[in-house]
A and B are shown apart, each in its own frame.
Chain A
Amino acid sequence: MMGKNLTMLQAITEALDQMLGHDDRVMILGEDIGVNGGVFRATEGLYEKYGKDRVVDTPLAESGIIGSAIGLALNGMLPIVEIQFLAFIYPGFEQLVSHAARMRYRTRGQFGVPLVIRTPYGAGIRGPELHSESVETFFAHTPGLKVVAPSNPYDAKGLLISALEDPDPVIFLEPTKLYRAFKEEVPDEMYRIPIGQAKVVQEGSDLTIFAWGAMLREALNAAKRIEAEKGWKCEVVDLRTLYPLDRDAIVQSIKKTGRALIVHEAHKTAGLGAEIISIINDEALIYLKAPIKRVTGFDVPVPPFTIEDHYLPTVDRVKQGIVETLSF
């Protein structure tokens, strides 16, 4: 299997390129994604290669973009929408929730909306206001949508291809902070990572850290340091898909470690951490040796970037959480 060392951004571009080349029905729509190649350059070179009808610079209107993409999908196209930043999706929220998520249901399977919405999300990039949100809960709470959040280049490509091939609308959350953070080997071919499958990134026996997106790095770094300092071995699980959650992977790991820490940068209240705790409560309560701890973003709007690092879970906060859970 041949591959290249790619950043997450490059892996996404490669996936988009291959999908456009693979299937004539694929179209990419978004603001500044054509000539400009996207504000993060995720679609760089694709406009030149596939033309204006397939890599479409749209008017600046998220409801119009998502709404017309719903129509395109109804009529046989496979649209991939780029929303410039997750917080910009709100004008198109009604289209997602009231239509994309419900079309299959309302028509009893007669019409589906195979639509992918890609959007950078998360803080830590020194972004202006409303460029750093992590509101995956909105979408995971909406029946009819699937939500995916890769944490590395390899998963990003494989999940994006799966998202496109999924018959239902998929919200594809790309952690902005990781876009160019590191490179890893990404196979040249089109491969798939199934939606709904978590991955044990690091095996351990003392505690499980559940994380996704940009928080994976914090989780891994904290696990490494705690092992060096205290000798505790943490298992780290990358959830990868936020709806539907991989319950089996969650439960299996808890049965093994008996302790859990959840790290997410979304606000704490009604964040997906609560859902994971609930799964453990339902399925693995008797295996627990300590209360489950959450290390999350605070219940405040993401603050200005000068202090955003204090909003985000840090390695130190994660470490502290591990210590508290293991010394219970």
Chain B
Amino acid sequence: MKQHLITDRKTNKNILGCYFMTVQNLGKFAKQIYLKGRNEMEKTGNPIMKAHSSGVEPEMFRVLTPDGEMIEAIDGKIDKSLMLKMYESMLLLRTFDRKSINLQRQGRIGTYAPFEGQEASQAGSALALSAGDWMFPTYRDHGAAIIHGQELYRVFLYWMAHFDGSICPEGKRILPPSVPIATQMVHAVGTAWASKLKGEKNVSIAYFGDGATSEGDFHEALNFAGVYKTPTIFFCQNNGYAISVPFEKQSASKTISQRAAAYDIHGVRVDGNDIFAVWMTVKEAVERALKGEGPTLIEAITFRYGAHTTADNPNIYRDQDEISTFWRENRDPITRLRKYLNKEGHWNEEQEELVLKQFNELIDAHLKKAEAYPKSDPLEMFNHVYAEETWHLKEQKQELNQILRKGGKK
């Protein structure tokens, strides 16, 4: 289990704390919470729980309980301003996500992959990065991309199927969402490897889901990263389902983080709905990577409240109402942090209203920008296939151009 531990260097204390105790060794209070949670989860048929034949939930690093109680010392690592940034980031993402689903229903964007419920994983991980770090998201990680600097209108453009929706701001290293599963993980090995060779102090982070861990590229990426000790962070959001397939059908492994042991790299399992825990885990992984200690595999336990995409119907493969209600009511990442911030006197209703209003305006402004953005010219399809156009492309572009002119559509 040693590779799973996160150690606070200042106090030399294992900050994973009680999560490495057996359930028998838990304090009475912790045990009550633990068992209560477990029973609730089992009742709702949560596949993440069901997968464990032992009936004992594998250890998971958690700082804030779902009720907003701080159970692990953060040792001043997260100050008030960062806490507020975390909270506001999650609010922004949720507002954006809900808006996007509505836009899809109105036919203003295409098929959309929602991430509601996973805001702590996405915002928490992205906030732990530096501006120049390489990010390899999937189609469900635009939340992380936004927090890392991708502009909202670009994300809208992407889902509107506009060519320019995959461009990231100048100087940023946010790659377009990877559609083929797990394939981007090896790219994050390569960019990190180059950073290491060039002596640049940057990490590369690859996002992926639990389904990706069945792919060959998951194995190849972890293995390569281990061999070359690349500063790569493999950030898995285990939301329990790969479209319809629950994790218990995906793998006999009890956890994803345990796979790290096979590659002799660091592996951490973290409560993906606890933004403090996510941020601390990723921060630790970044520090370790930059010290030359190699990659980290992080498994963030989370849940997507909604469908796989707007074209998916989750009622077919799970008791959608019950399970999503359970997670919303008992595990929500935003509610959890709000409870903590309220208790600490850092946040109130008024602030919430004000910020939400600002975010709605911001998102609307970006939507307006995206909708006013010049439509893709059909001839654009011939650009950037190669740095220099081949004769085929020149002629085919010409051919389409003539058709467009004749049809008067251009």
Which residues of chain A have a CB within 8 Å of any CB of chain B?
27, 53, 58-59, 61, 63-64, 66-77, 91, 94-95, 98-99, 104-112, 143-144, 146, 166-168, 196, 243-244, 247
Q: Assess the B385–A69 pair: CB atoms within 8 A.
A: no
CB neighbours of B217 from chain A (8 A): 63-64, 67
Q: Assess the A167–B190 pair: CB atoms within 8 A.
A: no
Given A75-B134, A76-B194, A107-B166, answer yes or no on A98-B180 (Cβ-Cβ < 8 Å): yes
One of B188, B383, B388 near A71 (C-beta < 8 A): B188
A147 CB, min distance to chain B CBs, angstroms? 12
CB neighbours of A247 from chain B (8 A): 391
Q: Assess the B223–A64 pair: CB atoms within 8 A.
A: yes
CB neighbours of A27 from chain B (8 A): 197
CB neighbours of A77 from chain B (8 A): 194, 197
CB neighbours of B248 from chain A (8 A): none
Q: How far is the CA of A145 from the CA of B224 in the complex (A)?
A: 25
Q: Assess the B183–A68 pair: CB atoms within 8 A.
A: no
Q: Assess the B216–A244 pair: CB atoms within 8 A.
A: no
Interface residues of B in 153-193 (CB under 8 A from A): 163-164, 166-168, 175-176, 179-180, 183-193
Question: Across the two chains, which residue of chain A brings its CB closest to B390?
Answer: A244
CB neighbours of B198 from chain A (8 A): 75-76
Against A, the Cβ 8 Å flags (1 = close, 0 = not) of B364-386 are 00000000000000000001111
What are 20 A-B interface contacts by the 8 Å CB criterion? A61-B220, A63-B217, A64-B217, A68-B190, A69-B190, A71-B186, A73-B190, A77-B197, A95-B183, A98-B183, A99-B180, A104-B387, A107-B175, A109-B383, A109-B384, A109-B387, A112-B387, A167-B387, A168-B387, A244-B392
Against A, the Cβ 8 Å flags (1 = close, 0 = not) of B201-215 are 000100000000000
CB neighbours of A167 from chain B (8 A): 387-388
CB neighbours of B387 from chain A (8 A): 104, 109, 112, 166-168
B195 within 8 A of A: yes
B227 within 8 A of A: yes
Q: Assess the B167–A67 pair: CB atoms within 8 A.
A: no
Q: Assess the B167–A105 pair: CB atoms within 8 A.
A: no
Q: Assess the A244–B391 pair: CB atoms within 8 A.
A: yes
B289 within 8 A of A: no
Most chain-A CB neighbours within 10 Å: which of B134, B180, B217?
B217
One of A59, A104, A111 near B385 (C-beta < 8 A): A104
Q: Assess the B204–A71 pair: CB atoms within 8 A.
A: yes
Q: How far is the CA of A99 from the CA of B386 in the complex (A)?
A: 13
Q: Assess the B180–A94 pair: CB atoms within 8 A.
A: yes
CB neighbours of B180 from chain A (8 A): 94, 98-99
Range of interface residues on chain B?
Answer: 35 or more
A137 CB, min distance to chain B CBs, angstroms? 15
B375 CB, min distance to chain A CBs, angstroms? 15
B146 within 8 A of A: no
Q: How far is the CA of A66 from the CA of B187 in the complex (A)?
A: 9
B408 CB, min distance to chain A CBs, angstroms? 27
Q: How far is the CA of A167 from the CA of B224 in the complex (A)?
A: 25
CB neighbours of B101 from chain A (8 A): none
Q: Assess the B227–A72 pair: CB atoms within 8 A.
A: no
CB neighbours of A74 from chain B (8 A): 134, 175, 187, 190-191, 194
B221 within 8 A of A: yes
Q: Assess the A67–B220 pair: CB atoms within 8 A.
A: yes
Q: How far is the CA of A75 from the CA of B217 in the complex (A)?
A: 20
CB neighbours of B183 from chain A (8 A): 63, 67, 94-95, 98-99
Q: Assess the B384–A196 pair: CB atoms within 8 A.
A: no
Q: Assess the A71–B167 pair: CB atoms within 8 A.
A: no
Question: Across the two chains, which residue of chain B brings its CB closest to A62?
Answer: B220
Q: How far is the CA of A53 from the CA of B230 in the complex (A)?
A: 13
Q: Assess the B190–A72 pair: CB atoms within 8 A.
A: yes
B202 CB, min distance to chain A CBs, angstroms? 9
CB neighbours of B176 from chain A (8 A): 106-107
One of B175, B224, B392 near A68 (C-beta < 8 A): B224
Q: How far is the CA of A144 from the CA of B381 in the complex (A)?
A: 12
Q: How far is the CA of A291 from the CA of B321 in the complex (A)?
A: 68
Question: Across the two chains, which residue of chain B brings its CB closest to A75?
Answer: B194
Q: Assess the A71–B384 pair: CB atoms within 8 A.
A: no
CB neighbours of A53 from chain B (8 A): 197
Question: Across the two chains, which residue of chain B brings its CB closest to A110?
Answer: B167
Question: Across the two chains, which residue of chain A brings its CB closest to B188?
Answer: A71
A159 CB, min distance to chain B CBs, angstroms? 17
A248 CB, min distance to chain B CBs, angstroms? 9
B197 CB, min distance to chain A CBs, angstroms? 6
Given A64-B217, A99-B183, A106-B176, answer yes or no on A71-B189 (Cβ-Cβ < 8 Å): yes
CB neighbours of A112 from chain B (8 A): 387
Q: How far is the CA of A282 from the CA of B189 in the complex (A)?
A: 46
Q: How far is the CA of A182 from the CA of B36 in the complex (A)?
A: 78
CB neighbours of A109 from chain B (8 A): 383-384, 387
Q: Assess the A68–B189 pair: CB atoms within 8 A.
A: yes
One of A59, A71, A104 near B193 (C-beta < 8 A): A71
CB neighbours of A75 from chain B (8 A): 134, 190-191, 194-195, 198
Q: How far is the CA of A59 from the CA of B219 in the complex (A)?
A: 11
A193 CB, min distance to chain B CBs, angstroms? 17
Q: Assess the B187–A70 pair: CB atoms within 8 A.
A: yes
CB neighbours of B168 from chain A (8 A): 107, 110
Q: How far is the CA of A58 from the CA of B392 in the complex (A)?
A: 37
Against A, the Cβ 8 Å flags (1 = close, 0 = not) of B89-131 are 0000000000000000000000000000000000000000000
Q: How far is the CA of A66 from the CA of B163 in the complex (A)?
A: 25
CB neighbours of B164 from chain A (8 A): 108
Q: How far is the CA of A110 from the CA of B179 in the complex (A)?
A: 19
Q: Assess the B190–A144 pair: CB atoms within 8 A.
A: no
B191 CB, min distance to chain A CBs, angstroms? 4
Given A77-B197, A105-B385, A111-B175, answer yes or no on A61-B224 (Cβ-Cβ < 8 Å): yes
Q: Assess the A64–B224 pair: CB atoms within 8 A.
A: yes
Q: Assess the A107–B167 pair: CB atoms within 8 A.
A: yes
Most chain-B CB neighbours within 10 Å: which of A106, A146, A166, A243?
A106
Interface residues of B in 223-271 (CB under 8 A from A): 223-224, 227
Given A108-B167, A244-B392, answer yes or no on A63-B186 (Cβ-Cβ < 8 Å): yes
Q: How far is the CA of A196 from the CA of B391 in the complex (A)?
A: 10
Q: Assess the A108–B384 pair: CB atoms within 8 A.
A: yes
Question: Across the two chains, which residue of chain A brings its CB closest to B170?
Answer: A110
Question: Across the two chains, which residue of chain B brings its CB closest to A74?
Answer: B191
CB neighbours of B179 from chain A (8 A): 98
